[in-house]
Amino acid sequence: MDTGNKIKRRAKSKGTPPIPPLNKGGQGGGTAIFYITDNGFALAERLKGLYPAAQVFKFKPDTISKFWGKHKSFIFIMASGIVVRTIAPLIKNKKTDPAVVVLDEKGEFAVSLLSGHVGGANNIAKQIADFLGGEAVITTASDVNNMPSIDLWAKENNLVIEDWNLLPQTATQFINNSSLKIYSEIDMNLPSDFLKVSDPKLADVLITNKQKIDSNVIPVKTGIQEKRTKELDSCLRRNDKNQAIRKLYLRPKNLILGIGCNSGTAADEIEDAVKGVLSKNNLSFLSVQSIATIDKKGAEPGLLSFAGKYNLKINTFTPDELNSVSNVEKSEAAFKATGANAVAEPAAMLASGADKLLVRKQKIGNATIAIAEKKAGRRAQSAERRAGKLYIVGTGPGTIEHITPYAQSVIKESDVIVGYGTYLDLIKELTRDKEVISTGMTKEIERCRKAVELAISGRTVSVISGGDPGIYAMAGLVFEVLRGQGVKGSRGQGVNKSASPSNPQTLEPLNPVVEVIPGIAALNACAARLGAPLMHDFAAISLSDRLTPWKLIEERLESAAKTDFVIVLYNPKSMGRPEHINKARKIILKHRAPETPVGVVRAAMRENESIVVTNLRDMLNYDIDMQTTVIIGNSRTFVWDNWMITPRGYEKKFKI
Ligand code: SAH
């Protein structure tokens, strides 16, 4: 009998999340690949499988400057020294430099050399490593420390970085303090390492469309929970002493300019008027999102040219649409010229959806400017209340690659993630920009209540369980809490198909859509690692007596053993009850031979995975803990080439 062999059957990939390929089928100007040798050329051709639109060139140092500025990403298959020397004079700043990735000829290492975050080189290096089965070499501190990068996060959330020179200092603060204090005037979800503060004085980063926040004025609390820790207080004292500290401003794109102007007004005049009004009202030009005006002015050359210069969209409205807005200052001159009672004010309000203006109309020379603020998260405040969603998600046994794409998509769609530390750590890459609620293992009920409460309030919530959520996990508990509160969730069956009832008339709590999203359970993962031990009837039994009396567990073990079920033992051992696995083994040995094959799989599909095929006699010689699942074969289970196999019965009917 082949016993106790540790098997190494580890997948090569290190669990990088699937990232959609860049430029697939896109324009040719996206990616340029350079090679020197024939091997390099062969590798470049292989990479076209990943980036079909990429262009491949033989490397000539003095020609690279011609490509710079034309391509978004550069992949060099050669020594990094050559690349560094060649691109050094071309590098300008991290805002505009392209992504540069260097690959060795064998494709073993993809080094993200330049513009890791904003340029996307880190992602490209990871994609290439995944594609070629190699390693991505990433050196940006936030990635190495598993922290969100400020610039990437800003980009993803459509926030404009005002002063890139302040970024290194802010990033260092972040890494040294392990958290970043954010003051935000817009409603947004923050990654778990970002701490929301309601006093701008305490913040490292200010998210606002105001040019400067007067740090002596503490704005009214936004209702967002603030953690006023000792650390924050000492930070306040530090900042008081040194008012000179310059803070990083991130600009939300939420200002809408309503503009009316006489025919033939020059672009410069419009620009000066806009900048003058913004500055007088302490508003940042970087927060301007778009322009709104009357349909007739949609083709006004000065306006078009100003909009084009700053890449601002122009939204136009008919006189009837403009006249439908009440509470604006009317002008007879405007009515005579256009048929609209007013232009700048109602246009800004219509385009922003706001019911009041931030800046009432200002007439400066030939232009009239009004400003409105577009509210993000209007949904929460508006009358159009929406039912929340409650996803109960299984994240599989280990790394991200074993989570179903559907589960990944609901996690991405969620505003809030509720879960337990270890499982959350395994999926950190998916939850960076989410509000994460994590409490210890024994606080499951508290977690479920919170999740239900949030879903009722209209948020999209994912309750995370390792493995499958319906197997010794959270799904049952969530339903018990729903039942306890009399909340009948409507059934979701697919992200886009779920009915989302809304109830605008009343302020009654809305019942959330509830959906359970299955995951690969430990019994699937462990069976797969062992071979095919579950090919016949099996029983899963948890040895945890935290919620089930031990006597009942013993009875179930006895019955399953007696009736020749394959037995999957979950929660086999913990510090508090080391003897349970010994007792279980003794019970099973009453009905099965000591040579019965047993598989002991620890941390399946995780970094520290171990797989042992042994038997009932020897099984206790191996490490068994709470990350382990033990599978005990039935009377017919056999071991072949270190695989554990339970025959289904084909051999009796057919010749194999
Ligand atoms: N919902 C989970 C089970 C949670 S109970 C599922 O469907 O798999 C926790 C127990 O599951 C652990 O004590 C262990 O017995 C088993 N388990 C979970 N993940 C595992 C893994 N990666 N490898 C081996 N066993 C695992």
- pLDDT digit string (tens) for 41-68? 999 999 988 888 889 999 999 999 999 9
Q: 531 versus 431: which is more confidently predicted?
A: 531
pLDDT tens-digit series, residues 476-514: 999 999 998 888 777 766 544 443 444 434 444 567 899
Ligand 1 centroid to Cα of residue 176, in Å, is 35
pLDDT tens-digit series, residues 594-634: 999 999 999 999 989 999 999 999 999 999 999 999 999 99
**Which value, in Å, is the radius of gyration of the alpha carbons in the chain?**
31
Residue recorded with tokens 């420390």 = 145
Distance (Å, whole) CA 345 – CA 359 = 9
Give yes or no for residue 629 CB within 6 A of ligand 1: yes
Q: Which atom of ligand 1 is nearest to the CA of 544?
A: 13
Q: What is the pLDDT of residue 390?
A: 95
Ligand 1 centroid to Cα of residue 495, in Å, is 27
Q: 462 versus 1: which is more confidently predicted?
A: 462
Q: What single-letter amino acid sits at 331?
A: S
User: Which of 474, 542, 606, 628, when mutated, tests ligand 1's pocket best, judged by the most ligand atoms within 8 Å of its CB?
Assistant: 628
- Name the helix (H) or strand (E) containing 454: helix 444-456
Give yes or no for residue 570 CB within 6 A of ligand 1: yes
Q: What is the pLDDT of residue 447?
A: 85
H-type helices in 301-441, by residue range?
301-309, 319-323, 332-338, 344-352, 378-381, 405-413, 421-426, 428-431
**Does 140 score more than 90 pLDDT?**
no
Residue 541's alpha-carbon distances to 35, 157, 553, 558, 569, in angstroms, are 57, 46, 7, 11, 5
221 CB neighbour count, 10 Å cutoff:
10
Q: 19: pLDDT confidence band, cut at 50, 70 and 90?
A: very low
Distance (Å, whole) CA 605 – CA 522 = 9
Distance (Å, whole) CA 146 – CA 429 = 8
Question: Strands 367-373 and 389-394: what pairing?
Answer: unpaired
pLDDT tens-digit series, residues 154-206: 887 889 989 888 888 888 888 787 788 899 999 887 877 788 888 888 889 99
Distance (Å, whole) CA 643 – CA 620 = 19
Q: Which atom of ligand 1 is nearest to the CA of 605?
A: 22
Give yes or no for residue 398 CB within 6 A of ligand 1: yes
Percent of the chain with pLDDT over 90: 53
**Tokens at residue 427, please?**
């999926």
Q: What is the pLDDT of residue 383?
A: 33
Distance (Å, whole) CA 561 – CA 518 = 29
Axis-axis angle for helices 121-132, 38-47 (nearest 10): 100
Q: 168 versus 555: which is more confidently predicted?
A: 555
Distance (Å, whole) CA 420 – CA 443 = 9
Q: What is the pLDDT of residue 146?
A: 60
For 114, phi then psi, to 5°, come to -145, 140
Cβ neighbors of 12 (< 8 A, separation 6 or more) are 133
Distance (Å, whole) CA 460 – CA 409 = 12
**DSSP code string of 176-213:** HHSSEEEEESS-----TTEEE-S-GGG-SEEE-SBSS-
Give yes or no for residue 472 CB within 6 A of ligand 1: yes
Residue recorded with tokens 């301007």 = 288
- Name the helix (H) or strand (E) containing 640: strand 638-640
Distance (Å, whole) CA 168 – CA 46 = 37
Whether the Cβ atoms of residue 374 and residue 354 lie closer than 8 Å to each other: yes
Predicted TM-score (pTM) of this structure: 0.48
Whether the Cβ atoms of residue 387 and residue 329 lie closer than 8 Å to each other: no
Please compute the mean of the pLDDT values over residues 361-383 and round it to a whole number.
76
**Does 276 score more than 90 pLDDT?**
yes
- 10 Å CB burial of residue 244 (0-12, 13-18, 19+) is exposed
Report the length, in residues, of the chain: 656
Please compute the mean of the pLDDT values over residues 198-218 and round it to a whole number.
80
50 CB neighbour count, 10 Å cutoff:
19
**Does 529 score more than 50 pLDDT?**
yes
Please compute the mean of the pLDDT values over residues 20-34 and round it to a whole number.
56
Residue recorded with tokens 């926030």 = 159
**Tokens at residue 327, please?**
């509470």
Distance (Å, whole) CA 92 – CA 415 = 37
Residue 51's alpha-carbon distances to 21, 123, 128, in angstroms, are 7, 13, 10
Q: What single-letter amino acid sits at 421?
A: G
Q: What is the pLDDT of residue 543?
A: 96
Backbone CA torsion sign across 319, 323, 328, 329 = positive
User: Which of 426, 441, 627, when mutated, tests ligand 1's pocket best, judged by the most ligand atoms within 8 Å of its CB?
Assistant: 627
Strand partners, 611: 601
- 10 Å CB burial of residue 476 (0-12, 13-18, 19+) is middle
Q: What is the mean pLDDT of the chain?
A: 84
**Tokens at residue 178, please?**
């392990």
Distance (Å, whole) CA 537 – CA 552 = 21
Beta strand residue intervals within 310-457, DSSP E: 313-317, 359-364, 367-373, 389-394, 416-419, 435-438
Q: 349 versus 381: which is more confidently predicted?
A: 349
Give yes or no for residue 604 CB within 6 A of ligand 1: yes
Q: What is the pLDDT of residue 494?
A: 55
Q: What is the pLDDT of residue 370?
A: 97
Q: What is the pLDDT of residue 214?
A: 66
Q: What single-letter amino acid sits at 188?
A: M
Q: Which atom of ligand 1 is nearest to the CA of 630?
A: 15
- 10 Å CB burial of residue 30 (0-12, 13-18, 19+) is middle
**Does 380 score more than 50 pLDDT?**
no
Q: 540 versus 220: which is more confidently predicted?
A: 540
Q: What is the pLDDT of residue 221?
A: 35
Q: What is the pLDDT of residue 376?
A: 63
**Tokens at residue 132, please?**
């070629």
Q: What is the pLDDT of residue 167?
A: 84
Q: What is the pLDDT of residue 215?
A: 53
Give yes or no for residue 606 CB within 6 A of ligand 1: yes
